[in-house]
Structure 1
């Protein structure tokens, strides 16, 4: 009974768990673009401007809940949003994007899950705010919310203000 209670307590506050990667350089990766396996993206190419890396998958129910928040952020145009498709089938991921919309600047595919492991991702969705030098400055476990974007992400990239229309 005690272990279960502790587990529930942690689950309540999972978005607050610290990540050993915060303050460190993001793990390097070389991954194909989703649906364009012949186009390889090296993580070093992404450094130079702040970005939000969002781990998602078509099979992830919570990703559907989070998706409108990411679309709202993308519409503001204040930060590059890189989708990292996590242990997913290409056709399923592309169909999901066709249905729900594609807010990402680019999407790389981590079919094997190796890059996700390097980032310490346990389940989708998870997001990492990376500064222009490639340093992880914030990690969100679970779905991004408007509040998290306004209170944690926008201030860290020097973009104050409300996401309200």
Structure 2
């Protein structure tokens, strides 16, 4: 009886379904990746999608100096350090790109939105990029110098001071 009354009320109100409306997809908060990938680096020959769309990006074409921050929504330390990487990106002294790894698009967008992350970001659903670099651990940071040479940092969450020090030491920037 209650269902019949509810259906009648909805019909009178102009509703034809009791199902909630389908939410519109949230646009990704990230910046475009295209201009960052115009060089040659000692990175795997792997193509990954940029969150802003377009063709997949060849990660081996990253031009340095650049910093790549691998993160995942389920990684607590990654969430701790993401704001420091965003501040580094905002300063504009070095290219900073994120790689949302071992996650899906909506979870990555949700965390990025919550933390105000807008740096260009690639999606690596299965963590292939990380594995091809020889590590499965997070947090992971990769530094690409102006000659395309790659060095990595795997350890605890980076704070601004330590991140800036690594950028100076490994990339000669800052």
Same fold at TM > 0.5: yes
RMSD: 2.1
1:114 CA displacement: 1.5
Indicate if the aligned counterparts of 1:55 and 1:85 stay in contact, CA closer than 8 A. yes
1:39 corresponds, among 43, 55, 60, to: 55
SS in 2 for 1:39: coil
Deviations 1:53-83 (A, max 9, x none): 1100111111121122112212221111111
**1:82 alignment partner in structure 2:** 97
Q: Distance in 2 between matches of 1:53 and 1:34?
A: 15
Segments of 5+ residues of structure 1 without an aligned counterpart are 1-23, 161-165
Q: Does 1:94 align with 2:115?
A: no
2:124 corresponds, among 107, 110, 118, to: 110
Q: Distance in 2 between matches of 1:53 and 1:67?
A: 11
**1:61 alignment partner in structure 2:** 76
Indicate if the aligned counterparts of 1:86 and 1:124 stay in contact, CA closer than 8 A. no
Larger radius of gyration: 2
Number of aligned positions between the proteins:
134
Q: Which structure's residues are more often strand, by fraction?
A: 1
Runs of 4+ in 1 over 6 A off after TM superposition: none
Segments of 5+ residues of structure 2 without an aligned counterpart are 1-40
Q: Distance in 1 between matches of 2:164 and 2:49?
A: 31
SS in 2 for 1:127: strand
Pick 1 or 2: higher relative contact order, CA cutoff 8 A, min separation 6.
Answer: 1
Q: Distance in 1 between matches of 2:94 and 2:132?
A: 23
